[in-house]
Amino acid sequence: MSYHCVPLYDSLGENAIEYIVNHSEAAAVFVDAAKLPAFAKALPAIGAALRTVVVWGDASAPAAAAALGALKGRPSLSVVSLADLTAAGAAGPADPAPPAPEDLCTIMYTSGTTGDPKGVELTHAAVVATIASLTSYLRVVGVSLGPGDSMLSYLPLAHIFDRVAEEMFLYTGSSIGYWQGDAARLVDDIGALRPTLFIGVPRVFDRIYGGISAQIAASSFLKRAVFGYAFARKLGFIQSGAPQDRASPLFDRLVFGKVKQRLGGRVRIIVSGGAPLAPHVEEFLKVAMCAPVVQGYGLTETCAASCIAMPDTWEHAATVGPVLPCTELRLESVPEMGYDAADAKRPGGEVLLRGPQLFSGYYKMPDKVGFLFF
């Protein structure tokens, strides 16, 4: 329909809801009943551009019911349930209005470092270029996605990492499973879905590493000794260049099989992003999960995917690897900050990225630019 969506979340600050709704000039908001109180609190500061609020979930709890009443008390606002909206659409479908490549697909607000959140403009062309880049990478590393594949969505869709992964899975005909929203039950959700691709952030992988390490520490001396020997032997083969699935097939069956089941037993590649993964955690995952583990790098402004390491390439461990297709990268020296792009031992500088997947600008902030140094 050529609409563009704006993920709305309150973790950017106390006034984020009203700021994002007003700044993006949103005409409609979809809100979970559990979030109605937070949205109702921001309602007095939201302008007249908002005309419709669509609610899903159980709004019978006292706080949600009171918030729903406050929304319905605003004369200019139409408040409907998702079920009613779906029924109305089925009764009177509208003709499609497909977007052009240069039309906005989404505005994703990011906190940056100072000031108000900035609305990152991503076009349909940028999203399509990113999906093409990611699927090309997966083909090169021998991972093909199709109707039999699945991923677990538990990272916020208000962040670009999970959003792009979902778009890619929709494109490939794969399925998406959504977690229950309870971190304590995340492992149960993983076991139920048995995903074939698992994306995560270091905090999640740290939790997995900590839980398995605690179980190993609580086991008998003999089991700890066997695990330690098997781990060191397989890690040595991986470091010498052996592919993960051929580094130690015997120990994979005898020792690491149970660990592999923590991610459902079907995972073919694990991708970590958002922040650096601790080297010892990455080593543990590479050995114990019986699947390639890679780290990636990107920004909201680059539609998430800029660089990603190659699996079974030990030189890429603890790095984000080379740039993806559709991306060009160079370093610009910044002498006043001690960054020298031509330094043979430790090149560094301002990261300059170019390609069709980059953002078009910051919504209503044409003078704003982003910088990243490393």
- Strands in 111-174 per DSSP E: 118-123, 150-153
Looking at residue 91, what is its pLDDT? 97
Looking at residue 181, what is its pLDDT? 87
Distance CA 195, CA 264 (A): 7
pTM over 0.85: yes
How far is the CA of 199 from the CAs of 154, 207, 233, 292, in angstroms? 9, 14, 27, 12
Distance CA 109, CA 307 (A): 22
pLDDT digits (tens, 9 = 90+) for 5-27: 999 876 777 788 999 999 999 99
pLDDT digits (tens, 9 = 90+) for 223-237: 999 999 999 999 999
Put the strands of the sheet holding 28-32 in their side by side order. 28-32, 52-56, 78-81
Tokens of 293: 């583990």
Average pLDDT over residues 343-356: 92
Tokens of 207: 């939790």
Nearest to 115 by CA among 17, 39, 13, 26: 13
Structural domains in the chain plus CATH codes: 16-98 (no CATH), 123-362 (3.40.50.12780)
Distance CA 30, CA 198 (A): 28
Average pLDDT over residues 350-363: 93
In sequence order, which residues have a C-beta less than 8 Å from that of residue 188 and are 6 or more positions away? 180
| pLDDT higher than 70, residue 296 | yes
Check if the beta carbon of residue 125 is closer than 8 Å to that of residue 162.
Answer: no
Mean pLDDT, the chain, integer: 92
pLDDT bracket for residue 222 (50, 70, 90): very high
| pLDDT higher than 50, residue 372 | no
